[in-house]
Amino acid sequence: METRPLKIGITCFPLIGGSGILATALGAELATRGHTVHFFSYAKPVRLDLSTPRIFFHEVAVGESSLFPCPDYTLPLAVKMAEIGRAQGLDVFHVHYAVPHAIAAFLATEMIGERAPKIVTTLHGTDTTLLGPNPQYRAAIEHALNHSDAVTTVSESLRRQTQEMFQLAREIQVVPNFFTPTPPTKSRAEIRRELGISDNEFLVVHMSNLRPVKRIDLLLRVIAASSRRDRIRLLVLAGGPFSPYESLLDELKLRQQVIVREQAATVEDYLPAADAGLYTSEKESFGLSILETMFFGKPVVAFRIGGIPEVVGDAAYLHEFEDIAGMASSLDALVDSPDTARQLGERGRARAEQYFSAAHIVPRYEAVYREVIR
Ligand code: GMT
């Protein structure tokens, strides 16, 4: 198999969300391994460092025309991907999400014609769980998947759901997500001091974009149900507005317990201060935030849904969806026994390093690329 460095186009969403974060980290890892990576998005992905050698970013302006009923992104994206794909002789378009990215990649390769880049589509969840059942999108997603040269999902659970949802005449490979923690810039004590957390308080962290699927209502109810609630503080690192949950804070009398930091891009600056992670999503194809929490050796409490069991194995406390009392008693157990918390956290860290490090996962994507261009 040839081993020359590849030219890879990565198309992703730029916001704080697992898929964009994963795509950005993947691009950075690929570049350090000698490949050239061209990012396409409507804004610079939040964690993208443009000073990294061999990384380029192509901003795509959303199309506005008085002829259209609403702005259009897919066609300008396809045009930009075709232009750069042709000019740079890209080998692969690795698109994160079928809608609209794989559709744009399909159009771009049609425009380029012969020698067009191969298409690798990675599904992160929503294409299958939210858009798949929607008849306005389903056939387009199916078409984009069937016309990709390879399709990957981030968990076995999502692979199964995708096969059930669509008529696919193709294999799907599972390539799980990875994470590389960067060294924190502040000590645990410093961060706790800044957050106003005292030594005998137990800091629970939750990181997400707060979409409805993250079930922030349940998150707050678990804290409220804990018999150790007076010793618990909850830090929400929010990739979206917290305002819809303010009234619930008052209803549950949790205002003193909850600290919210909106748009916190660098989780490393907070995770060392935490004692546990709490995740209450009703759907989660992987749970990159959970993996990030594990990498910092913090025990995780979550629901047994989607891809979460594949990520945590036996290194977390998992409960049936909506078992608030069960989750609260797991939190209590961690508050009461720092040794248990430490051991569970260390087991999670070991599992994260063993199965979900860049060294383990990035070569699997490289193998997918080599396979499709072979
Ligand atoms: O979960 C979100 O709201 C964001 C979304 C995204 O695209 O960034 O996350 C999805 O992709 C992540 C990275 O693969 C996964 O860790 C998340 O589990 C997945 N979200 C869902 O399936 C709801």
Going from the N-terminus, what domains does the chain have, and what CATH number goes with each? 7-178+357-373 (3.40.50.2000), 188-355 (3.40.50.2000)
The residues, any chain, with a CB within 8 Å of residue 167's CB and separated by 6 or more, are 142
Burial class (CB within 10 angstroms; exposed 0-12, middle 13-18, buried 19+) of 327: buried
β-bridge mates for residue 11, sequence order: 40, 95
Angle at 147 between CA 46 and CA 87, to 5 degrees: 60
Per-residue pLDDT of the chain (374 residues), as tens digits, is 678 999 999 999 998 789 999 999 999 999 999 999 999 999 999 889 999 999 999 999 999 888 888 999 999 999 999 999 999 999 999 999 999 999 999 999 999 999 999 999 999 999 999 999 999 999 999 999 999 999 999 999 999 999 999 999 899 999 999 999 988 889 999 999 999 999 999 999 999 999 999 999 999 999 999 999 999 999 999 989 999 999 999 999 999 999 999 876 678 889 999 999 999 999 999 999 999 999 999 999 999 999 999 999 999 999 999 999 999 999 999 999 999 999 999 999 999 999 999 999 999 999 999 999 99
Q: Which two tokens stand for residue 179?
A: 């994470």
Quote the CA–CA distance of 26 and 4 in Å, as a whole number.
18
Taking the chain, what is the end-to-end CA distance rounded to the nearest angstrom? 8
Q: What is the pLDDT of residue 39?
A: 98
Neighbours of 53 (CB within 10 A): 8
Residue 291 alpha carbon, nearest atom of ligand 1 = 16
CA distance 374 to 371: 5
Cα 363 from Cα 1, distance rounded (Å): 14
Q: What whole-number distance in Å separates Cα of residue 83 and Cα of residue 63?
A: 16
Ligand 1 neighbourhood includes 46 CB (under 6 angstroms): no
Residue owning the nearest CA to atom 2 of ligand 1: 17
pLDDT for residue 264: 67
Minimal-distance CA residue to ligand 1 atom 7: 19
Tokens 């798949």 correspond to 132
Q: What is the structure's pLDDT at 265? A: 61
- Scanning the structure block, which residue is given the tokens 């009234």? 247
* Ligand 1 atom nearest 211 alpha carbon: 3
Query: What local confidence, expressed as pLDDT, does residue 269 receive?
Result: 87
Which ligand 1 atom is at minimum distance from the Cα of 125? 22
Our mutation pick for probing the ligand 1 site, out of 12, 288, 305, counting the most ligand atoms within 8 A of Cβ, is 288
Q: Work out whether the CA dihedral 214, 215, 217, 221 comes out positive or negative.
A: negative
Dist. CA 291–CA 312, nearest whole Å: 8
